[in-house]
Copies of this chain bind each other. A is one copy, B any other.
Amino acid sequence: MAKGSQVRLDWSFVRRLIFGSPLSTEQIAHQRLPKILALPIFASDALSSTAYATQAILLNLLIAGPHVLHLTVPISLAIVVLLWIVVFSYTQTVHAYPQGGGTYIVSRENLGTGWGLLAAGAILTDYVLTVAVSITAGAQQITSFFTQLAPYQTEIALGAIWLLTLANLRGAKESGMLFAVPTYFFIVTMLCTVAVGVLGPLFGYYPRPYQPPQQTAEHAMHALSIGIILRAFASGCAAMTGIEAVADGVQAFRPPESRNAAHTLVVMGAILSTIFLGISYIAQKYHIVYYGHGAHGEDASAESVISMVARVVYHDDPILRGIVLFATAIILVLAANTAYADFPRLSSILARHGYMPRQLANLGDRLVFSNGIILLAVFVSILVVAFKGNVDRLIPLYAVGVFTAFTLSQAGMVRHWLLRKEAGWQWKATVNGFGAVSTGIVLLVIIVEKGPQGAWVVVVVIPVLIWIFTQVHRHYQKVRAQLTLIGYEPQPPPPHTVLVLVPDVHRGVLPAIEYAREISKDYRAVHIEINPADTQRLKERWEQWGGDMPLVIIESPYRSLIGPLVEYVKQVRQDHPRHLITVVLPEFVVTRWWERALHNNSAFLIKLALSNIRDVVITNVRYYLD
C-alpha cells in the first residue's frame, strides 16, 4: 500500500550535510590514530595550558606587588619537576592498562568502586573546565589583538564551543586530520618565540623590556607570605592539566597502543616543559606584569601574557605578535577538543557500568558518542555564561579535579604493583607512590588556597556527581533484578476483554470495531453520551451495523469524554481483576496539517488518562481520510 503523500523536508539529507554520512559499525577499526595524528588531539590540552599557566602565576604574585615577580621562574621550575613525576607515573599506567581507561578504570580496579566514582566525578568536572578555560583563554588571545572585540568575549567563546561540538559530532578521524596542522603550527611558533627570547641575547638580539601602555591603578599591596607563594604555585599547576588524557585514550592509538601512547606522553612532556619555562623566563626577565580582568571582570580588555611576551620578543611587531596570538587561540580551541574526545568516552564507560544513563553508551551514526558530546557542550555553555567568559575566574576551579584524579590514579597504580609483584615492581611502586604523595599534597594546597577563590564549587559538585552515579546505579540494578527471568513461571494466558470507543457509527469507526472482533471473543462497544439528543439515532445505527457486539452507553452529565471513559475502564478492571483489557481507540488521520484543527484530537488525551490504570493496553486503529 502506498505511503502518505505528504511532501516532507528530507531530514536525513540535512543531517548528512551537517554531520556527514552515517558510518557502519564495521568502519570502527579504521578510526585508530597514528602517533602523528594522536599527538595533536591528546597533547593540545597540556600544551595549550602554557597560554594561561604563567599568567596565573603572575596574577597571584601581583597581590604582593610587582617586586616579587622574580619568583615566577622558581615556581615554574617546581611545577615542571612535578610535571615529570606525573609523566613518568603515567607512562607506567599506559603500559599496565593497554586497553585504556585511565584514572577511573585504574582507581576502580585497584582501590574499589567508591574511589573509582570519586575519580570519575573529579575527571568529568575537569573535562568540563578544560573546555571552559581553554575557550575563554582563546577568546582572550583574540581580544588581545582585536581590542575592540573585548566586550564580546562570552559570545566569541560560545560560538567556538558550538563549532567544536559540530566538528566532534562529525567524528574522531576527521578531527585528527583537521587539527594536526594548527597544533604543529603552535609548537613551531612557540618554540621559535621562546628560542628567540631566551637565546637571542647570545647572538646579539635583545628583547625589549615590557612597557605598559599606560599607568595602571595603584595596587593595595599585601606583604609577601608563604600563602601567596603557594597560591601562585597552585594556580600555575594549571599547566599540568591534560596529561592524563593520553592514558584515558590508549585505545585510540594504532597498535602497539601502549608504546605509542607512552612515547606521545614523553614527547608532550618535553615540549610542554620547554614552552612553559621559556615563557615564564621571558615574562620575569623582561618585567611583564599581568593585572587580569579584575575580580568582577571590570576590565574586559586585559591583554594576555602571551601577547605581552610576543611584544617583548618581537619588539612590538604586529604581524609576528598576531601570528603568535593566532596560533595560541587555535591551540586553545583544539585543547578543548581533548575533552571532546574524552568526556564522551568516559561517560560511555560509566554508562556501560550502569553509573550514567545508558544512552551515553550508544555510538551515534558517525561512530562517536553523540549524546556525551552534546551533554559536555551544554555544561560548558552554562559555565561560560555564568562566569561571563572570564578566564581569570575560571582558573581557580580548574586544578581540583585534575589533582584528585592524579592522586587516585597513581595510588591505584601503587596498589596494582603491590598485588601483582611483576618484575621490577618495587621500582614501579616507588615511582607511582612518589607521584601519588606529591600530587596529593598539591591537591591539599589547592583546596586550601584556591577554595575561597571558587574551587569550593568543584568540591561541592564532585560529591553530588557521586550521589547521582550511585542513584543511577541503584535504579539499573533494581530494574535488572525485576526483569530477570530466573525463577519466572509462565502463566496461562488471562481472559482478554476488548473495549472499543464508539463516538458515532460511520466508516471511520468500523475498522476499530472489526479489529476488536479480530483480537478477542469478549468485546463491547462503549459510547460516552455527550449529547443525549443523538443517542437514539446512534442506537438505531448500532442495530444495523453493530452485529453481536454489545453497546454500553455511559452518561456524561458534564459533557466530558475522558472522565466517564476512565471511570468505566476502572470499573471493568475492578470487575475482572485478572483479565487483560484492551481499549481500542478509532483515530482519524487527515492529509493536510490544518485539517487536524478541525477534529477533536482526543486520542492523545485519552491515552494519557488511561495510562494511570495498570495492565490496560491501548490500541489506536487509524482511519485515513484521503
Contacts and interface: CB of A to CB of B under 8 A. Distances in A.
Interface of A: 1-4, 22-26, 357-359, 362-365, 472, 475-476, 478-479, 482-485, 488, 493, 496, 505-508, 510, 514-515, 517-520, 532, 541, 544-545, 557-560, 570, 573, 577, 580, 582, 588-589, 595, 597-600, 611-615, 617-622, 624-626
A53 to B, nearest CB: 38
A577 B1 contact: yes
A26 B557 contact: yes
Given A362-B559, A365-B560, 4 more contacts: A24-B557, A25-B559, A483-B507, A619-B619
Given A476-B598, A482-B507, A520 B519 contact: yes
B483 A3 contact: no
B482 A1 contact: no
Contact of A519 (B476, B488, B519, B626): B519
* Integer count of this chain's copies in the complex: 2
A2 to B, nearest CB: 7
Given A24-B558, A493-B518, A620-B617, A472 B4 contact: no
A517 B493 contact: yes
A508 B478 CA distance: 13
B482 A625 contact: yes
A125 to B, nearest CB: 20
B532 A358 contact: no
A485 B507 contact: yes
B365 A559 contact: yes
A545 B476 contact: no
Contacts of A577: 1
Nearest to A599: B358
Contacts of A25: 532, 557-559
Contacts of A515: 580, 617
Contacts of A507: 482-485, 488
B483 A506 contact: yes
B4 A614 contact: yes
Contacts of A365: 558-560
16 contacts: A1-B613, A1-B615, A3-B613, A3-B614, A22-B558, A25-B558, A365-B560, A475-B595, A479-B625, A482-B626, A485-B541, A485-B544, A496-B519, A515-B580, A617-B621, A619-B619
A172 to B, nearest CB: 16
Contacts of A3: 570, 612-614
Contacts of A597: 357
A332 to B, nearest CB: 33
Given A25-B532, A365-B558, A600 B358 contact: yes
B358 A598 contact: yes
Contacts of A558: 22-25, 365
Contacts of A478: 625
Top 7 A-B pairs ranked by shortest CB distance?
Answer: A483-B506, A519-B519, A24-B557, A22-B558, A619-B619, A483-B507, A365-B558
B472 A485 contact: no
Contacts of A532: 25
Contacts of A517: 493
A588 to B, nearest CB: 8
Contact of A484 (B483, B506, B514, B621): B506
A24 B620 CA distance: 30
A475 to B, nearest CB: 6
A73 to B, nearest CB: 50
A520 B582 CA distance: 14
Nearest to A515: B617
A60 B25 CA distance: 77
Contacts of A624: 614
A362 B561 CA distance: 11
B4 A612 contact: yes
A518 B580 contact: yes
A620 B621 contact: no
Nearest to A483: B506
B496 A483 contact: no
Contacts of A544: 485
Contacts of A615: 1, 622
A182 B362 CA distance: 67
Contacts of A496: 518-519
